Amino acid sequence: MNKNPEISDSTGLGGEWYSRSGPLSDVILSTRVRLARNLADFPFPAHFKADDAVRVQTLVFDAFMKSERADSYQALPVAGIDSLSAGLLIERGLIQTSTLNAPGGGLVMRINGRKANSGLACTINDEDHVRISCFCSGLDCDRAYKNCQEVDELLQKSLQFAASYDFGYLTANVKDCGSGIKFSARVHLPAMAFLGEIGDFFESIALKGMVAEPAFPPFSKTGAGTGGFYQLSSNQAGTGNEVEQMVNFTAILRQAADSERKGRNSLIQKRTTEITDRIVKAFSVAKFSLLLDMREALMIISDIKLGKAMGLLRGIDDEAIAPLIYRVQDSHLKTVIKNGSFAFPQDIAENTQKQADRLRALIIQDAFENLELIK
């Protein structure tokens, strides 16, 4: 098992999981499944003593290293991750700041070639000893769960996880006890937000045990997500088995897709001028901007994606739009700048943030080079 992973920083599409197509991708950008597990005979990370953290990290790393698929994984202690690489991992959802600050924190990633970009990762010694997670494009909880289950079975060949007949898997957060599973999805709901329907929808799914929040800061007082991007997550792991929870979560995502599509139809039929004006403005900014901050880029990506879905734009597919969300983020851009050779205008040559804003604008222009308005 390689302990020195190459963290992909290419601006190309490569083989990253988010560059692949998925079901209902016009609304459901990605789904994630996460399994929480804890080793028997050790306290939860918040109550570690002496060398507990190091021992847990070593046991988990060894379980991967001794497996029959050892060459498919890369592992490293988080203490060895530099700040820029840490930012990349956070932007891709593979690790959280809390893991980076955790004693004995670790990360194991399944690799694709030499690059750790498959969307499957295992964090060590965050809130729980082990958290296995997998991202898939579109609505694909089944594939994400099967990938997590494969790693779970691999680890259980060497490790004993804490569990009981009464409560199932034991976790640091009581809401994760039982199956230890959590489902989440990043969704694109700009039409519902535009029509003012998003609040009622979120209230309805909250009654079904779901949590909704904006996918990107800054958050407004109305709870609107930047670009209409939201994160929907399950809130209880003890209500039924994994399959039952997956079925319920999938049904809610399908409901979200249906509601958003109805909203788009309503906009094109009843508020054509307003929505067309918004799409045309995004088209113009995408084509001609010299500098774009993160929020501006997300708004453009959202409006272009909406315009494409509504038949107002052509020249790009959802498979090319989805990676842009990752390619326009700060750590990714700063990594590309660090490893590349760019001739920035003299007035921003010493300003790293403006350089990132300039590169962000160039990436947007390049991605939408063939974009056309449909008259």
- Averaged confidence pLDDT in the chain: 89
286 shares a domain with 262: no
308 shares a domain with 243: no
172 shares a domain with 42: yes
38 shares a domain with 151: yes
- CATH number of the domain enclosing 117: 3.30.590.10
Share of the chain above pLDDT 70, in %: 92
138 shares a domain with 16: yes
pLDDT in tens, 58-91: 999 999 999 888 888 999 999 889 999 999 999 9
pLDDT over 70 at 6, yes or no? no
231 shares a domain with 162: no
pLDDT band of residue 11 (cuts 50, 70, 90) is very low
Q: Average pLDDT of 1-28? A: 64
167 shares a domain with 58: yes
pLDDT over 70 at 9, yes or no? no
pLDDT band of residue 15 (cuts 50, 70, 90) is low
143 shares a domain with 74: yes
**Which segment of 39-48, 216-225, 254-263 scores lowest on mean pLDDT?**
216-225
Residue whose token pair is 């992909």: 8
310 shares a domain with 244: no
Residue after which a domain boundary falls, among 249, 266, 283? 266
pLDDT over 70 at 54, yes or no? yes
Q: Which two structure tokens, joined as six digits, stand for 11?
A: 């601006």
pLDDT in tens, 315-366: 988 888 989 999 999 999 999 998 888 889 999 989 999 999 999 999 999 9
303 shares a domain with 240: no
Instruction: Residue 206: give the domain boundaries.
Output: 185-266
Residue after which a domain boundary falls, among 246, 266, 286? 266
147 shares a domain with 195: no
Residue after which a domain boundary falls, among 219, 246, 266? 266
Structural domain count, the chain: 3
225 shares a domain with 92: no
